[in-house]
Chains A and B, each alone.
Chain A
Amino acid sequence: MKRAVAAFSFIGFSLAFAATAWAHRIDEYLQAARLAIAPDRVTLQMDLTPGVDVAPLIFALISTNHDGSISEREARAYATQFLKEVVLDLDGHSQRLSLVRAQFPSFQEMNEGVGTIRIEAFAVCASAPGNHVLSFQNNHRSDISVYLVNALVPASRNIEISGQHRDSLQRGIQLQFTVTH
Chain B
Amino acid sequence: MKIRIYLAVVFLFSLALGSTQAQQRTAPPDITAKAVAAAKAFLATLDARQQAAVVVPLNKDTKSRWSNLPNGAAGLKFKRNGVKLGDLTSVQQRAALDLVGAALSRMGYEKVINIVNAEEEFARTSVELRAAQRNPAKFGRSEYYIAILGTPSPVQPWMIQFGGHHLGINLTFAGKENVLTPSHTGTQPASYSLEGKTIRPLGKENDKAFALINALDAAQKKDAVLNYQVADTVLGPGHDGAVIQPEGVRASKLTANQQSMLLDLINEWVSILNDAASSARMAEIKSRLADTYFAWSGPTTNGSAAYFRIQGPTVEIEYAPNGGSADHIHTFYRDPTNDYAARFIKP
The CA of A26 and the CA of B17, in the complex, are separated in Å by 34
Q: Convert A1-43 into 0s and 1s, putting 1 for each residue whose CB lies closer than 8 angstroms to a CB of B.
A: 1011111111111101111111111111010101000000000
**Residues of chain A lying within 8 A (CB to CB) of residue B136:** 112
**Residues of chain A lying within 8 A (CB to CB) of residue B242:** 34, 152
Q: Convert A139-157 into 0s and 1s, putting 1 for each residue whose CB lies closer than 8 angstroms to a CB of B.
A: 0000011111011110000
Q: How many A-B residue pairs have CB under 8 A?
A: 196
Could you say which of A76-84, A87-95, A122-130, A164-172 contacts chain B? A164-172
**Residues of chain A lying within 8 A (CB to CB) of residue B229:** 146, 168-170
Query: Does any Cβ of B come within 8 Å of A50's Cβ?
Result: no
Flag if B14 contacts A19 (CB, 8 Å). no
The CA of A11 and the CA of B197, in the complex, are separated in Å by 13
**Residues of chain B lying within 8 A (CB to CB) of residue A109:** 75-76
> CB < 8 Å: which of B8, B13, B22 contacts A19?
B8
**Residues of chain B lying within 8 A (CB to CB) of residue A24:** 4, 6, 133, 322-323
Residue of B nearest to A161 (CB): B245
Residue of B nearest to A29 (CB): B1
Flag if A32 contacts B234 (CB, 8 Å). yes
Interface residues of A in 86-142 (CB under 8 A from B): 105-106, 108-109, 112-116
Q: Of residues A30, A106, A144, A148, which shows the largest number of chain B Cβ atoms within 10 Å of its Cβ? A: A148
**Residues of chain A lying within 8 A (CB to CB) of residue B9:** 17-19
What class of interface size applies to chain A in its complex with B?
A: 35 or more
**Residues of chain A lying within 8 A (CB to CB) of residue B5:** 21-23
Q: Convert B213-236 into 0s and 1s, putting 1 for each residue whose CB lies closer than 8 angstroms to a CB of A.
A: 000000000000011111110100
Flag if B230 contacts A170 (CB, 8 Å). yes
Interchain nearest-CB distance for A110 vs B (Å): 10
Query: Does any Cβ of A come within 8 Å of B247's Cβ?
Result: yes
Query: Does any Cβ of A come within 8 Å of B26's Cβ?
Result: yes
**Residues of chain B lying within 8 A (CB to CB) of residue A16:** 12, 193
Flag if A11 contacts B14 (CB, 8 Å). yes
Task: Enumerate chain A interface residues (CB-CB to B < 8 A).
Answer: 1, 3-14, 16-28, 30, 32, 34, 52-53, 105-106, 108-109, 112-116, 144-148, 150-153, 161, 164, 166-170, 175
Interface pairs (15), CB distance under 8 Å: A1-B26, A7-B20, A8-B93, A11-B16, A11-B195, A17-B10, A20-B7, A22-B188, A24-B4, A25-B323, A106-B76, A145-B1, A147-B231, A153-B245, A170-B231
- Which 3 pairs between the two chains have the least Cβ-Cβ distance? A7-B18, A23-B323, A23-B325
